[in-house]
Structure 1
Amino acid sequence: MVAVLKKALAEALVSFYPFAGEIVQNRHGEPEILCNNRGVDFTYAYADVELKDVDLYRPHVSVDGKLVPVKMHGVLSVTQLKCGGLFIGCTFDHRAADAHSANMFLTAWAEIAQGNPITLLPSFRRSLFNPRRPPQPHKSLDKIYAPLLSMPPPPSADDHDHLTSRIYYVRSNEIDRIQSQASYNGTRRSKIESFSAFLWKSIAGAGASGDRSKTIKLGIVIDGRTRLSGKTTSLDCYFGNVLSIPYVEASVDELQTTSLKGVADIVHECVAAASTAEHFLALIDWVEMRRPKPAVVKVYCKDENDEAAIVVSSGQRFPVQKLDFGWGGPDFGSYHFPWGGETGYVMPMRSASGNGDWIVYMHLMKRHLDLVETRAPHVFRPFNSDCLNLACKP
């Protein structure tokens, strides 16, 4: 199995060659991909443990530096378990590709392993994102993005709390219930909007200081491919980053006293404002006018008045059911995003079972994780092998 994975990986990197390169700085100090065919580090290991004993609920214990290498990009590891099962972990640099691009690569890798042609070949047409002449940036973007050097320094670290990662199993009936409670009068909110509103409102009760005036920022990752695709141009196969991260903020008091429907309305308005072609065209212009100075999404910069800052990214397109390398589909798959900032990160993904249940990766302050588990244990079930009712198998 390891030989099949390694051979198919080498073939997949022919089409997805940026993953075999390196991120370097150009003469202006901007990051760019050097396609030098450096390749990907491939490691194989054996772990004398059973699958049922792997603590996937706490990935910082079982995954970091073990099932996924410490090196942050350009590494793939295969770990064989005592029972014969395999864990496949890979890292990539987010500056080179977003989750949509990574999904394309993973799917192509599995297709090659089975001897099939790649269904979706990547496109690298950067000219699709050339700025307009003259550029037409919107002032509203100044509320979302800022030059990196203009942001305040992060608040001092709290020795009694820290960001940590957990993985939950959320059943489909709970997702449907939350969506129903967030919708009204024929207005149906999406599942990701409803879930984000529920999480945002739930965390509002975790103010350790009891200061209800503190704010909680919520960012939502928006993929611009469908927004920018026209009648003659489709961006489904575009490899790179086509993302925007609008955000909203509200005080702890506002979130606690507003109904879930009202909070979902706020989330929907935030998403709708950035879900247009004009938003992404203006963002391209905004970036172009400030090059080569780096910029940052403001939600990633937590300040002293923030109780929390969280980014929710939908992993609903994570192709876990397609990742069959020739010996059957996987029983579990998840993204893992333990970055070193002050902002939390949440990604709900479809379960490999295909029954509508979710796997939810959450990287938040420990007190916030403890709170949502206490307040909604029926929603956030700690992930373990019993969630999948599986036997350890290849």
Structure 2
Amino acid sequence: MASFFRVISTSYLHLASQNSDSTRKIELGPGDVLLLRLDLNQGGLVYHNHPNANRDTVIQHLKASISSTLDYFPQLAGRLTVIEHDDDGTSSVFIHCNNSGALFIHAIAEGLTISDILRPDYLPPIVRSFYPLTDAKNYECTYKPLLAVQVTELIDGMFIGVTINHALGDGKSAMHFLTCWSEIARGVGLLSKPPTLERWFPGCTERPLRIRFPKDNEKEKERLKSPLPPPERVFHFSKEKIAELKAKANATLSSNNKISSMQALMAHIWRAIVRNQGIDPKEEVNFKLVVDIRPRLNPPLPPHYFGNALDDGTVMMTAGELLHQEGFGKAALEMNKVVASFTEETIMSHLKSWLEDRRLLTIREMYGNAVEISGSPTFNVYGVDLGWGKPVAVRSGPANKSNGTITLFAGPEKGDAYAEVNLPYEIMEALGRDSEFMDAVMPTLGFFIVKKMTSVRSSL
């Protein structure tokens, strides 16, 4: 697989409407400023070529549809603004909807096919160049774009990498933007689910929220520099295999179907990782998961709230407990308990605790030595049809990844799930030889990778 990557053009996209309010500012809430030191949020969609349109037509269609979508998401065309408070040396951060523009990059990976990306066990290093703003931190978007889209041509398709400032929204918000973009790209007149842009500020939070804004200098950038992610491998779990794991977990516990499919899958992956790390049975191992708090507040946040509305919890066990015969069911049950613990009271307690020191996360502090999971197989990623059919595969970028990170997303067949796993090479190879783990894993190359999608639209 020989390939040469080059950028063809770079441009900035602005709101399609001429009536935008360039003075509008949106405050960042507690869940937003917490992430300012982290990398941006990245996702990738792989498509076959449009059968009835040339390259220039497709590129212009994508640009025009993004500009029209920005009319509903004006903050994505803006920049962060920092207001300093002289009385105590703190700062407040806003999104200035000034229509400075979203970045659009058109590139080409000559000699590379879709199969070259999806067939190998490990992610080819060249794919990391398919995501824009990979080295940026969220706080740097006072002068860098808050949204960047890169379209990389392949021989038989294209890879669309989307990067959104993580201080603007979580994974669910990013998915909402993609859904709205796909509706507009297909010619929908009005969005079915327009976003709610105003930020959530609970009663215990003063406004504007004051924090210690990161210093934009080389020393700070070096301190916050993300480690190069370890090798990444994608594992495919079919609906049937996931159902078997769920049934096994519930049978172990006699829990009347208390364990969900995803809790069973997460427990299965966690046990396999620890089993192949050679950890002392008495050593404590941690598994971190994130919970969407939108429906858990009183009153609940709007389902299409565009912002960060996540909280995280940790399951703690010894390696011996986890790898015990009954450890699978116990791990899944502990995950179930952690998710159930996120009540209004718990969420507000976590918020009040954070307000006492207002510490901004770094990648090293976020992960520590835990296995952490993000993403969700409930996101309708295969519904992002931009006018010529559904994507044939979905990936996430290298941002915010470290040793032990797992990203879950749906498969093209309803009920399937994929797990992107980042681990050292020797651990990853051991996983591939682990018969208990691999028994639930589908072959690397599914039919959907090599079979061209038959559902094609001709709206370009």
Query: Shared fold (TM-score greater than 0.5)?
Result: yes
The aligned counterpart of 1:246 is 313
- Determine which of 319, 322, 325 is the counterpart of 1:255: 322
Amino acid at match of 2:262: I
* SS in structure 1 at match of 2:352: helix
- Determine which of 395, 402, 418 is the counterpart of 1:334: 395
2: distance between equivalents of 1:194 and 1:95?
Answer: 31
The aligned counterpart of 2:230 is 163
The aligned counterpart of 1:139 is none
1:130 is aligned to 2:202? yes
Alignment of 1:1-394 (within 5 A): 1-27=58-84, 28-29=90-91, 31-48=93-110, 49-55=112-118, 57-59=121-123, 61-66=125-130, 70-72=134-136, 74-83=147-156, 85-116=157-188, 117-126=190-199, 128-132=200-204, 163-184=230-251, 185=254, 186-208=256-278, 211-228=280-297, 230=299, 234-257=301-324, 258-274=326-342, 276-291=343-358, 293-294=359-360, 300-302=366-368, 308-339=369-400, 341=402, 344-352=404-412, 354-375=413-434, 376-381=437-442, 383-384=444-445, 386=447, 388-391=449-452
Counterpart contact for 2:390–2:453, Cα < 8 Å:
no
The aligned counterpart of 1:151 is none
* SS in structure 2 at match of 1:219: strand
1: distance between equivalents of 2:364 and 2:313?
Answer: 9
Assess, with a 3 A threshold, how the Cα gap between structure 1 residues 67 and 97 changes in structure 2: closer, same or farther. Answer: closer
Amino acid at match of 2:422: H
Assess, with a 3 A threshold, how the Cα gap between structure 1 residues 389 and 171 changes in structure 2: closer, same or farther. Answer: farther
Assess, with a 3 A threshold, how the Cα gap between structure 1 residues 322 and 214 changes in structure 2: closer, same or farther. Answer: same
CA deviation profile, 1:160-207 (whole Å, cap 9, x unmatched): x97222222211111111111111321331111111111221122123
Normalising by structure 2, we get a TM-score of 0.70
Shift of 1:79: 1.7
Counterpart contact for 1:46–1:81, Cα < 8 Å:
yes
Assess, with a 3 A threshold, how the Cα gap between structure 1 residues 33 and 214 changes in structure 2: closer, same or farther. Answer: farther
Shift of 1:5: 0.9
2: distance between equivalents of 1:201 and 1:106?
Answer: 33
* SS in structure 1 at match of 2:66: helix
Counterpart contact for 2:322–2:330, Cα < 8 Å:
no
2: distance between equivalents of 1:71 and 1:330?
Answer: 26
CA deviation profile, 1:113-153 (whole Å, cap 9, x unmatched): 11212111111232x4323389xxxxxxxxxxxxx9xxxxx
Amino acid at match of 2:340: A
* 5+ residue gaps, structure 2: 1-57, 85-89, 137-145, 207-213, 215-222
Counterpart contact for 2:134–2:398, Cα < 8 Å:
no
1: distance between equivalents of 2:79 and 2:443?
Answer: 37
Assess, with a 3 A threshold, how the Cα gap between structure 1 residues 99 and 165 changes in structure 2: closer, same or farther. Answer: same
Counterpart contact for 1:219–1:299, Cα < 8 Å:
no
Shift of 1:348: 1.8
Assess, with a 3 A threshold, how the Cα gap between structure 1 residues 318 and 263 changes in structure 2: closer, same or farther. Answer: same
2: distance between equivalents of 1:337 and 1:317?
Answer: 21
* 5+ residue gaps, structure 1: 135-147, 149-153, 303-307
* SS in structure 2 at match of 1:246: strand
CA deviation profile, 1:267-292 (whole Å, cap 9, x unmatched): 21122112x2222233333333334x
1: distance between equivalents of 2:155 and 2:453?
Answer: 9
Shift of 1:95: 1.7
Amino acid at match of 1:286: S
Normalising by structure 1, we get a TM-score of 0.80
Counterpart contact for 2:103–2:149, Cα < 8 Å:
yes
* SS in structure 2 at match of 1:54: helix
* SS in structure 2 at match of 1:313: strand
CA deviation profile, 1:323-365 (whole Å, cap 9, x unmatched): 1111112111233344265x5221221112x332212222233
Shift of 1:367: 3.5
Shift of 1:218: 0.4
* SS in structure 2 at match of 1:188: coil
Counterpart contact for 1:110–1:325, Cα < 8 Å:
yes
Shift of 1:220: 0.9
2: distance between equivalents of 1:130 and 1:86?
Answer: 43
CA RMSD of aligned residues (A): 3.0
Counterpart contact for 2:72–2:195, Cα < 8 Å:
yes
Assess, with a 3 A threshold, how the Cα gap between structure 1 residues 53 and 163 changes in structure 2: closer, same or farther. Answer: closer
1: distance between equivalents of 2:194 and 2:340?
Answer: 30
Counterpart contact for 1:216–1:250, Cα < 8 Å:
yes
Counterpart contact for 1:67–1:79, Cα < 8 Å:
no
Assess, with a 3 A threshold, how the Cα gap between structure 1 residues 338 and 213 changes in structure 2: closer, same or farther. Answer: farther
CA deviation profile, 1:298-347 (whole Å, cap 9, x unmatched): 97252xxxxx4111124123222321111112111233344265x52212
Assess, with a 3 A threshold, how the Cα gap between structure 1 residues 198 and 107 changes in structure 2: closer, same or farther. Answer: same
CA deviation profile, 1:216-274 (whole Å, cap 9, x unmatched): 210111000111263xx552111100000111222222211243112212221122112
Counterpart contact for 1:8–1:112, Cα < 8 Å:
yes
Shift of 1:296: 6.7
Amino acid at match of 2:160: I
1: distance between equivalents of 2:243 and 2:92?
Answer: 44
Q: Aligned pairs, how many?
A: 357
